Amino acid sequence: MSILAGHPPDGVTASLDRLVELQQDDPAWLDLVAAAPEATVFHLPSWTRVVADTYGFPATVLAQRDERGGVAAGVPLMRVRRLSGPAWVSLPFSDHCPPLARDLASLGRLAAGLAGWTARHGVPVEVRGGLPSRHGWRDAAVGVRHVMALDEGAEALRARLSETHRRRLRQAERSGLRVRCSRSADDMAAFYRLHLLTRRRQGVPVQPRRFFRALWQRVVAPGQGVVLLVETPAGQAVAGAVVLSWNGTATGKFQASDATSWELRPNHACYWAALRWASETGHRRFDFGRSETHHAGLQRWKAGWGAEAVPLSYALTGGGSPSVGDRGLLAGALRQVIRRSPALVCEALGTLLYRFAA
In a domain, 67, yes or no: yes
Question: Among 180, 161, 157, which residue's Cα sits nearest to residue 169?
Answer: 161
Residue 77: count of CB within 10 angstroms of its CB: 27
Helix intervals (H) in the chain: 27-35, 45-55, 104-121, 154-159, 163-174, 185-202, 209-215, 266-280, 296-303, 332-340, 343-353
Q: Please give the Cα distance from 322 to 101 (Å, whole number).
A: 23
Tally of CB atoms within 10 A around 152: 13
d(CA 254, CA 237): 15
Q: Which domain holds residue 113?
A: 19-143
Residues 352 and 265 in one domain: yes
Last residue of a domain, one of 103, 125, 143: 143
5, part of any domain = no
Query: Is residue 13 domain-resident?
Result: no
Tell me the chain's radius of gyration from C-alpha atoms: 21
Q: Are residues 39 and 139 in the same domain?
A: yes
- Determine contact, residues 284/152, Cβ cutoff 8 Å: no
What pLDDT, on a 0 to 100 scale, did the predictor assign at position 19? 87
- Decide which of 108, 143, 178 is a domain's last residue: 143
Looking at every residue in the chain, the average pLDDT score rounds to 89
Q: Could you tell me how far CA 87 lies from the centroid of its own chain?
A: 18
- Number of folded domains that form the chain: 2
Kindly state whether residues 227 and 132 are assigned to the same domain: no
The total of other beta-carbon atoms located within 10 Å of residue 296's CB is 10
The reply to whether 289 falls in a domain is: no
Cβ contacts of 195 within 8 Å, gap of 6 or more: 206, 207, 212, 240, 254, 256
Cα separation values, 133 from 57, 292, 355, Å:
28, 22, 29
- Residue ending a domain, choose from 81, 114, 143: 143
pLDDT at 73: 96
Q: Are residues 212 and 251 in the same domain?
A: yes
What is the residue-wise DSSP string for 178-189? EEEEE--HHHHH
Domain assignment present for residue 6? The answer is: no
Name 46's bridge partners: none
Are residue 205 and residue 342 in the same domain, yes or no? yes
User: For the whole model, what pTM was predicted?
Assistant: 0.89
My answer on whether omega of the bond before 91 falls inside 30° of 0, hence cis, is yes
Quick one: which of 332, 271, 261, 330 has its CA closest to 298? 271
Residue 216 DSSP class: I
Backbone angles phi, psi at 294, to 5 degrees: -80, -5
Distance separating alpha carbons of residues 198 and 207, to the nearest angstrom: 12
CA distance 197 to 103: 45
Q: Sort strands 308-317 and 125-127 into parallel, antiparallel or unpaired.
A: antiparallel
CB 99 within 8 A of CB 73: yes
Question: What CATH number is associated with residue 346?
Answer: 3.40.630.30
Q: 215 and 353, same structural domain?
A: yes
Rounded-to-10 torsion of CA 194, 196, 199, 201: -70
DSSP string across 133-152: S-TT-EEEEEEEEEEEE-TT
Residue 16: the pLDDT is: 36
Q: Which residues of the chain have pLDDT under 50?
A: 1-16
Q: How many CA atoms lie within 13 A of 70 on its CB side?
A: 11
Residue 66, phi then psi, degrees to nearest 5:
-100, 180
3-state secondary structure of 22: strand
